[in-house]
Chain A
Amino acid sequence: MIRNVCILGELGNVVYMKEYAESQTKDRLLDFLVNLSQFISNEEFDGKTEHMNLPSTRIYYTKRDSFTFVFVADRADDPAQIEEKTEQLVERFMKDYANLALASQPLDGFDEVVDEIAVTMVKVAILGFAGVGKTTTLHLLRGETLPLVHDPTIGVSIKKLPTEVENANIVLWDLAGQSRFSILWAKMIANAQVVIIVTDSTLENVLRSKKLVTLVREEVPDAKIIGIANKQDLATALTPERVGQILGIPTYELVAIDISYRDRLIQIIRRAILEGKSESKDRVS
């Protein structure tokens, strides 16, 4: 996935920078990029994109006129794909934004262009206490047969959703619900665009789950949070409306063992991702 996008001006000044996920610490990365821009200032690129390797990431860079364009991506990514995206971004920038940047004017709308080109992965975390049906929800989303034996998740189970949303892969993080793993929750929801809080719709569990909402709001304030009132087939289940009222987040009903809920749930996630994106645009503007 693409982690950072950075455009530097002639003097090594930052014209644009966006961080999608942590790569190096921001200041060190910036120092490095400014040095890189000075180092390559005399290089002839002829429209080509070069790259260099860091421990777990790869830095792609190219120059066009007085601008240096830098993408930081995972080493696991296909270089040809990232180079193509770099070129797309360079074209759009040079066509519509270079003059604005030269005149030190705000680059209105460029953030959305970058998102459109650079977002290749969206993280959706599934959080909830033990036994509420998080892993069953994951299986449902992936259209998989449910295992007959309950096998508690250790740490986290990370799987891709077969469906893409706006050309981005959706990565589902099913977090272990056992209390011993609670020390990992804050770190594991980092960089999630959507967090799904799963409850078993019992009053006791829903009340306990309120602190998960607080945790998510503190750790990933920009994430879209949705609640799931699972096990609606049980007589003791609170209604989704009641669960939503208690949690203070939009909440949807679910019977995770019922395959007919799959499409509905995917649509809910898709909507949350798109809403999250438009909210982030609003924040930027």
Chain B
Amino acid sequence: MPKGVFIAHWDDFRGLVVEHKYPTSIMLTEKDLNMVYYHHEKGRTGSLQYVELENMRVASLASSGRPLWIVVFVLDEGEEIEGQEDVLLGMGRYVLAMLAQHPEGVDVKDVLENQRMLHRPTPEQEYADIFLTPSSALLLERMEQEGIDRATRLAVWLNTQVQSEEIDIRAVAAPLMKSGVVRVEKVQGAGETVFLVRDVFAYRAPPVQALQYALETMVHIAEVYQDRVTEFFSPPPPEKGYNPTAATDDPNSPLLEDRQRIAEILRNGIHYEVVRCLRERPMTLAEISQATTFPVELVQKVLWALEAEKVTTHVDGGSLWVLLTDPTIEAFMPEFVLPDVFRKMKDRELDAKVVMRYLELLDEEWGRAE
């Protein structure tokens, strides 16, 4: 267990400023803070940085984007990092999420003593990054048409699409690679090749599990709850209800905007934890707070925000919160690209070796799963 923690933020006029520390007896110099900042600028975003300072060893995690916050754990003498990396990362993620949403609720002592954590991103959260990274969703659409493409060709295509030569194809492709949606391999004779091995679809699912739970054990709210869900998904005509598969090419269509919202909700660690709780069953505010370990006032704010997005609603005179729609991103096998891939092989647009490798990758990914 770390023996202390401090939180600092970067300020263009004052440098790294310490906002919280526990215990208050931790002594920090300007050099210490600068070394921590330096290692974060040098290192990889989202990963822990270990730094040996003059009088202490620290492990730290920084927020991505601006404003820059750094959570720094002061390690005990002789304390090994191995085995506690997940805990440190989890606590770091928790503090960073709290700072972004509910800064007045950050209690560093409580975080440290009770090991408050946000767990590592789930696959659906990683998929959400695709829709939140500029041009990544565009690249996915291209891969949905091609199935297989050369990295260089993709880069040229993307530059043309966004009409800029400064676009960093690696940054654009990163969420697709990290989430396992595409695989990039060097294939003999074909150079660096990108394969679509998973496709993803963002939509609002009916909250089946929570509804079932209400029907079985919370009969007094079941009917009202079911009516609300039905009203959203399949209201009586002439209303059309919710249909995420309606075809659209318009980038400003409500469906694409909704996909963006779904991705934002899933990527927000605090919102996501609240949604996860309500996927299981209806809960009171206090129960959600207890299950997520977030302060009641923060959970209340989140529930209101999610209510505005038609994700949650309250029943039973406001005492119970339920999921109205379940923001979901699912992955599936992109078998629809295969006929085109085979046609291209036949027309010698694609090398047989490349296609064979694609089938192997799909088999590795989906054959094993089945």
- In Å, the complex CA distance between A55 and B7 comes to 12
Interface positions of B from 255 to 277, Cβ below 8 Å from A:
none
- Count B interface residues, CB 8 Å: 24
Tell me if A183 and B41 are in contact (CB < 8 A).
yes
Question: Is there an interface contact between A190 and B12, defined as CB atoms closer than 8 Å?
Answer: yes
- CA separation between A25 and B68, bound complex, in Å? 12
Choose among B15, B33, B34, B67 the residue that contacts A55 (Cβ–Cβ < 8 A). B67
Q: When the two chains form the complex, which single residue of B17, B19, B34, B66 contacts A156, counting CB atoms closer than 8 Å?
A: B34
Residues of A within 8 A of B31 (CB): 154-155
A56 contacts the other chain (Cβ, under 8 Å)?
yes
The proximity string for B residues 55-69 relative to A, scoring 1 for CB distances below 8 Å and 0 otherwise, is 000000000001101
The answer to the question of A22 belonging to the interface, with a C-beta cut-off of 8 Å to chain B, is yes
Measured CA separation A154–B30 after assembly (Å): 9
Q: Closest Cβ of chain B: how far from A271's Cβ, in Å?
A: 21
**B30 pairs with A54, CB closer than 8 A:** no
A24→B67 contact, CB < 8 A: yes
Query: Are the C-beta atoms of A191 and B12 separated by less than 8 Å?
Result: yes
Q: Is B35 an interface residue (CB 8 A)?
A: yes
Residue of B nearest to A191 (CB): B12
Q: Are A56 and B34 touching (Cβ within 8 A)?
A: no
Chain A residues in 8 Å Cβ range of B37: 155, 184
How would residues 21 to 63 of chain B score, 1 for a CB under 8 Å from any chain A CB and 0 otherwise? Answer: 0000000001101110110011000000000000000000000
Tell whether A225 is near chain B: CB-to-CB under 8 Å: no
Within residues 207 to 261 of chain A, which ones have a CB less than 8 A from any CB in chain B? none
Nearest Cβ distance between residue A216 and chain B, in whole angstroms?
15
Enumerate chain A residues within 8 angstroms of B30, measured Cβ to Cβ: 155, 157-158
Smallest Cβ distance from B167 to chain A, in angstroms? 19
- CB atoms of B35 and A56 under 8 A apart: no
Is B368 an interface residue, CB under 8 A from the partner?
no
Q: List, in ascending order, chain B residues with CB within 8 A of A190's CB.
A: 12
**Residues of B close to A33: CB separation below 8 A:** none
Q: A183-B42, A184-B41 are in contact. Are A158 and B15 (CB under 8 A)?
A: yes
A140–B69 alpha-carbon span in the complex (Å): 33
User: Any chain A CB within 8 A of the CB of B240?
Assistant: no
Q: How far is the CB of B187 from chain A (nearest CB, A)?
A: 35
Cα-based distance from A121 to B12 in the complex (angstroms): 11
| CB pair A56 B38 closer than 8 Å | no
A1 touches B34 (CB 8 A): no
Across the interface, do A156 and B15 meet the contact criterion of CB distance under 8 Å? yes
**Residue of B12, B30, B31, B66 with most partner-chain A CB within 10 A:** B12
**B residues less than 8 Å from A23 (CB atoms):** 67
- Answer whether residue A95 sits at the interface, using C-beta atoms and an 8 A cutoff: no
Question: B280 → chain A, closest Cβ, in Å?
Answer: 31
CB distance from B232 to the nearest CB of A (A): 26
B77 within 8 Å of A (CB atoms): no
- Bound: A187/B66 CA distance, A: 12
Say yes or no for A163: interface residue by CB 8 A criterion: no
Give which listed residue, B12, B15, B99, contacts A21 with CB less than 8 A. Answer: B12
B254 within 8 A of A: no
Also in contact, A187 and B41, with CB within 8 A (given A55-B99, A56-B19): yes
Question: B66–A56 contact, CB under 8 A?
Answer: no
A53 to B, closest residue via Cβ:
B104
Provide the B92-111 mask, 1 if CB < 8 A to any CB of A, else 0: 00000001100110000000
Report chain A residues within 8 Å CB of B100.
55
B9 on the A face (CB < 8 A):
yes
User: Could you tell me if A123 and B42 are in contact, using CB atoms closer than 8 angstroms?
Assistant: no
Q: Do residues B35 and A154 form an inter-chain contact, with CB atoms below 8 A?
A: yes
B336 close to A (CB within 8 Å): no
| Chain A residue total in the interface (Cβ 8 A) | 29
Interface residue B11 (Cβ < 8 Å from any Cβ of A): yes
Docked pose: A190 CA to B30 CA in angstroms: 19
| A191-B15 in contact (CB<8A) | no
Contact A184–B38 (Cβ < 8 Å): yes
Q: Which of B33, B41, B42, B67 contacts A56 (CB 8 A)?
A: B67
In the complex, chain A residues 163-220 whose Cβ is within 8 Å of any chain B Cβ: 171, 173, 176, 180-181, 183-184, 187, 190-191
A56 and B9: CB pair below 8 A? yes
Contacts of B38 in A (CB 8 A): 154-155, 180-181, 183-184
| A77 CB to nearest B CB, Å | 11
Q: Least Cβ distance of A279 to chain B in Å?
A: 20
Per a CB cutoff under 8 Å, which of A121, A154, A157 touches B13? A121
Distance between Cα atoms of A211 and B31 in the complex (Å) = 26
- In whole angstroms, how far apart are the Cα atoms of A27 and B308 in the complex? 21
Task: Determine how close the nearest CB of chain B comes to the CB of A176; give it in whole angstroms.
Answer: 8
Please indicate the chain B residues that have their CB under 8 angstroms from the CB of A154 in the complex. 31, 34-35, 38
Q: Does B348 contact A (CB under 8 A)?
A: no
- On chain B, the residues within 8 Å of A183 by CB distance are 38, 41-42
A residues 6-53 near B (Cβ < 8 Å) are 21-25, 53
Q: How close is B30's CB to chain A, nearest CB, in angstroms?
A: 6
Instruction: Give complex CA distance A25, B65 in Å.
Output: 10
- What residues of chain B lie closer than 8 Å to A184, measured between beta carbons? 37-38, 41
Partner of B66, one of A25, A123, A191: A25
Nearest residue (CB) in B for A181 is B38
Residues of chain A having any CB pair with chain B under 8 Å: 1, 21-25, 53-56, 74, 76, 121, 123, 154-158, 171, 173, 176, 180-181, 183-184, 187, 190-191
| Given A1-B13, A154-B34, 7 further pairs, Cβ under 8 A | A55-B99, A55-B100, A156-B15, A156-B34, A180-B38, A184-B37, A184-B41
Closest CB pairs A-B (n = 8): A155-B34, A55-B103, A191-B12, A154-B31, A158-B15, A190-B12, A154-B34, A56-B9
**5 residue pairs A–B, Cβ–Cβ below 8 Å:** A1-B13, A154-B34, A156-B15, A171-B13, A184-B37
